[in-house]
């Protein structure tokens, strides 16, 4: 215990935080079903250890097992850290499970030259909203038509939209990356997508890696499933090589395979597999979860739904599909989509970063090698930034004349060097899918059922399973 105390005591200039217990530190003082709320309460006057009321400020520390983490809260602190001192926080920490799975390759969990090159390549191919010959807008709208057909097949009766939305959004990534989509209900594909939401297991694994590596448990299943996903991608890469046509860039894999490579570049098949894996990992569940929240908010606020539909009817009408050019003429709809993203807060603690050298933040010194958690929740629900932070209020994004206004504190995609790589793609998907849905359907709850706005804390913050009725308009 004495050795643990000496090894793990906070250095003098380190950010303060709740008392850490021997060995486990603050591991069991966080409620993992509501991690983001636990972490936000530490910075607020509320508390997590229930014994004394303390406020630790916007930069505070916790010890998770043997690992110190620093949690950053509020817009100014996050901006100072991720944007103004972005270089110091551009790396990801060496989290055991993530390293075991990605082996430092790809984009999301890589660092240094691999991250720079792979991110730049993915961004440049995404820049024109499509890979190779596949441009994004027709891909999204084509997928919407399959999805709408599935919704219509329920004939206004209650159903859970989760699988259909997951299929639709994953299929958009499939079309862009593999050059083809899958039939809905493809069992193998659904199984491969089913590993999300393992927050607590990951946290335990990352805190006690040596122990957890030897133990059976859900984290082993996650690892097994992730390996299956990678095998699945390897088969697609092999088929692309087999059907090789140097004059035809069909999709992301083709573009990648045709990249001109210099001797010390990091473009190789393993990085390709992990990059494709990353696009699925980061791009499927996020967008489909946001759409699931969108359904819930629309049934909870039918008057807002009606206002959105009226605006779409007026600007787009019923005889054509919506396009991105319509966005400027749909300020209310745009505001509603932003408010859905703010309230649903699906990546509440962003992804972890690590300090690559000592950094001064909020008057404290954080040494090199400390894991940093950017608490997006503390910004998206900050009462100093939003007029009614806890209420669903599209007015947050509208001026008195009803024009759309951007808000700096709207940061669901994080900020800085590691800002979400798929932000533009996600915004486009959300806009085209949401407006098309509102154009075609009216959403309601089954008779006698009220929408439940509670969440499940996994890799994304997702709604609890629910059934909804979609009536054709
Ligand atoms: C990273 C949010 C959709 C690809 C992130 C991060 C957040 C985020 C908070 C962490 C940023 C940081 O580390 O500071 C979201 C939300 C989405 C969404 C809210 C949808 C509503 C997408 C899509 C893709 C994507 C559609 C791509 C197909 C990525 C990648 C990273 C990332 C590759 C890692 C970037 C890096 O480490 O350099 N996203 N994301 N995301 N996102 Fe997204």
Residue 281 CB–ligand 1 contact under 6 Å:
no
Which pLDDT belongs to residue 51?
A: 38
Annotated binding site: 420
Please state whether beta strands 359-361 and 441-444 pair in parallel, antiparallel, or not at all (unpaired). Answer: unpaired
Write down the residue that tokens 């932003």 correspond to: 338
Nearest to 320 by CA among 131, 137, 471: 137
Residue 287 CB–ligand 1 contact under 6 Å:
yes
Quick check: 450 pLDDT over 80?
yes
Interval 451-462: pLDDT, tens = 999 888 777 888
Give whichever of 197-201, 234-238, 250-254 has the largest mean pLDDT. Answer: 234-238
Cβ burial of 451 (10 Å; 0-12, 13-18, 19+) is middle
Residue 290 CB–ligand 1 contact under 6 Å:
yes
Give the SS3 label for residue 261: coil
Average pLDDT over residues 11-22: 80
Residue 286 CB–ligand 1 contact under 6 Å:
yes
Position in ligand 1 atom list of the atom nearest CA 418: 38
Are residues 374 and 82 in contact, defined by beta-carbon separation less than 8 angstroms? yes
Confidence class for position 45, pLDDT limits 50, 70, 90: very low
Q: Give the phi and the psi of residue 293 in degrees, each rounded to 5.
A: -65, -40
Interval 133-162: pLDDT, tens = 667 888 899 999 999 999 999 999 999 998
| Atom 39 of ligand 1: nearest residue by CA position | 420
Handedness of CA 268, 269, 271, 272 (dihedral sign): positive
Nearest to 380 by CA among 342, 406, 408, 416: 342
Least confident of 84-88, 247-251, 349-353, 396-400: 247-251
d(CA 190, CA 430): 21
Annotated binding site for heme: 420
d(CA 417, CA 82): 7
Which residues lie below 8 Å from residue 323, measured CB to CB, with a gap of 6+?
137, 432
Position in ligand 1 atom list of the atom nearest CA 346: 19
Are residues 248 and 254 in contact, defined by beta-carbon separation less than 8 angstroms? yes
Which pLDDT belongs to residue 132?
A: 55
Give Rg (Cα) of the chain: 23
- Tell me the best of 278, 286, 293, 374 to mutate to test the pocket of ligand 1, counting ligand atoms within 8 Å of each CB and taking the most: 286
Least confident of 25-39, 74-88, 249-263, 306-320: 25-39
146-150's contacts with Cβ under 8 Å and 24+ in sequence apart are 146/171, 146/181, 146/184, 147/433, 148/436, 148/437, 148/440, 148/441, 150/184
Residue 350 CB–ligand 1 contact under 6 Å:
yes
Residue 373 CB–ligand 1 contact under 6 Å:
no
Cα 106 to averaged position of ligand 1 atoms, centre (Å): 13
Position in ligand 1 atom list of the atom nearest CA 430: 21
Average pLDDT over the chain, rounded to whole?
86
Least confident of 31-40, 109-118, 239-248, 356-365: 31-40
Which residues lie below 8 Å from residue 307, measured CB to CB, with a gap of 6+?
332
Residue 167 CB–ligand 1 contact under 6 Å:
no
Are residues 386 and 397 in contact, defined by beta-carbon separation less than 8 angstroms? no
367 vs 250 pLDDT, higher one: 367
| Atom 43 of ligand 1: nearest residue by CA position | 420
| Atom 34 of ligand 1: nearest residue by CA position | 108
Residue 332 CB–ligand 1 contact under 6 Å:
no
Residue 40 CB–ligand 1 contact under 6 Å:
no
Cβ atoms < 10 Å from Cβ of 245: 9
Query: ipTM of this model?
Result: 0.99
Write down the residue that tokens 């599935």 correspond to: 150
Nearest to 254 by CA among 403, 90, 125, 426: 125
Handedness of CA 435, 148, 126, 413 (dihedral sign): positive
């Amino acid at each position: 215990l004495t050795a643990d105390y000496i090894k793990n005591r906070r250095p003098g200039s380190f950010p303060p935080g709740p008392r850490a217990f021997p060995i486990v530190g603050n591991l069991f003082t966080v409620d993992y079903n509501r991690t983001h709320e636990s972490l936000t309460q530490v910075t607020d006057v509320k508390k997590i250890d229930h014994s004394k009321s303390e406020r630790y400020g916007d930069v505070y520390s916790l010890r998770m097992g043997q690992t110190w983490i620093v949690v950053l809260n509020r817009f100014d602190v996050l901006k100072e850290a991720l944007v103004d001192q972005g270089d110091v926080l551009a790396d990801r920490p060496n989290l055991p499970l993530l390293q075991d799975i990605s082996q430092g390759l790809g984009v999301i969990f890589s660092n240094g030259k691999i991250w720079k090159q792979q991110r730049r390549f993915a961004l440049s191919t995404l820049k024109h909203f499509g890979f190779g010959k596949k441009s994004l807008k027709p891909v999204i709208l084509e997928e919407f038509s399959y999805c709408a057909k599935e919704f219509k097949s329920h004939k206004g009766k209650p159903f859970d939209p989760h699988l259909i939305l997951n299929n639709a959004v994953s299929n958009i990534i499939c079309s862009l990356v593999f050059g083809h989509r899958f039939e809905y209900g493809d069992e193998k594909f659904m199984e491969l997508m089913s590993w999300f939401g393992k927050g607590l297991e990951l946290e335990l694994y990352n805190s006690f890696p040596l122990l957890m590596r030897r133990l059976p448990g859900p984290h082993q299943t996650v690892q097994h499933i992730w390996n299956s996903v990678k095998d699945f991608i390897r088969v697609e890469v092999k088929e692309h090589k087999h059907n090789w046509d140097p004059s035809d860039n069909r999709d992301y894999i083709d573009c990648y395979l045709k990249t001109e490579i210099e001797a010390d570049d990091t473009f190789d098949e393993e990085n390709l597999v992990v990059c494709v894996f990353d696009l699925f990992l980061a791009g499927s569940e996020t967008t489909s979860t946001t759409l699931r929240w969108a359904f819930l908010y629309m049934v909870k606020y039918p008057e807002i739904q009606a206002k959105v539909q009226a605006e779409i009817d007026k600007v787009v009408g019923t005889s054509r599909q919506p396009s991105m050019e319509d966005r400027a003429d749909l300020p209310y709809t745009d505001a509603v989509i932003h408010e859905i993203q703010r309230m649903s807060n699906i990546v509440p603690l962003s992804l972890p970063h690590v300090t690559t050298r000592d950094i001064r933040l909020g008057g404290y010194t954080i040494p090199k090698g400390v894991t940093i958690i950017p608490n997006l929740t503390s910004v998206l629900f900050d009462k100093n930034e939003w007029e009614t932070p806890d209420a669903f209020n599209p007015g947050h994004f509208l001026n008195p004349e009803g024009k759309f206004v951007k808000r700096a504190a709207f940061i669901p995609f994080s900020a800085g060097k590691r800002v979400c790589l798929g932000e533009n793609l996600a915004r486009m998907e959300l806009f085209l899918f949401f407006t098309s849905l509102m154009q075609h359907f009216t959403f309601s709850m089954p008779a006698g059922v009220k929408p439940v706005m509670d969440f499940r804390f996994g890799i994304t913050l997702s709604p609890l399973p629910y059934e909804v009725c979609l009536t054709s308009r």
